[in-house]
Amino acid sequence: DAGVTQSPTHLIKTRGQQVTLRCSPKSGHDTVSWYQQALGQGPQFIFQYYEEEERQRGNFPDRFSGHQFPNYSSELNVNALLLGDSALYLCASSLVGTAYQETQYFGPGTRLLVL
């Protein structure tokens, strides 16, 4: 049973560029959430996708956008990269049901470095 997978594992970009990160959810899961983990901090919620729509969003600017495909995989896009966007980006998948109790399973993350 494949877990959550993310690509690429590492990425180096320069300020002002755009980046796309990809996530495939755990088999059977239909909801994808994205988190940003800055060095030495806990992950922070960016947004969540279900049925190809963003259903809730954290305190991140519009430079951060996403997409979910019919096969439940997801992309995170960041435009106009800033140095402060350097972080580990984590994808988590879950199965919608009793949303209150759904457990999220995390992928290994994509480490983004902005120079």
Partner 1 sequence: AQSVTQLDSHVSVSEGTPVLLRCNYSSSYSPSLFWYVQHPNKGLQLLLKYTSAATLVKGINGFEAEFKKSETSFHLTKPSAHMSDAAEYFCVVTSLGVGGYNKLIFGAGTRLAVHP
List residues near partner 1 by CB under 8 A: 4, 33, 35, 40-45, 48, 50, 55-56, 58, 90, 92, 99-109
Closest separation between CB of residue 37 and partner 1, Å? 8
Cβ 78 to partner 1, closest distance in Å? Answer: 19
82-88 contact pairs (CB < 8 A, 24+) = 82/15, 82/114, 83/15, 83/114, 83/115, 84/114, 85/112, 85/114, 86/38, 86/39, 86/112, 86/113, 86/114, 87/36, 87/37, 87/38, 87/39, 87/111, 87/112, 88/36, 88/37, 88/112
To partner 1, the closest distance from the beta carbon of 75 in angstroms equals: 18
Q: Which is nearer to partner 1, 78 or 92 (CB)?
A: 92
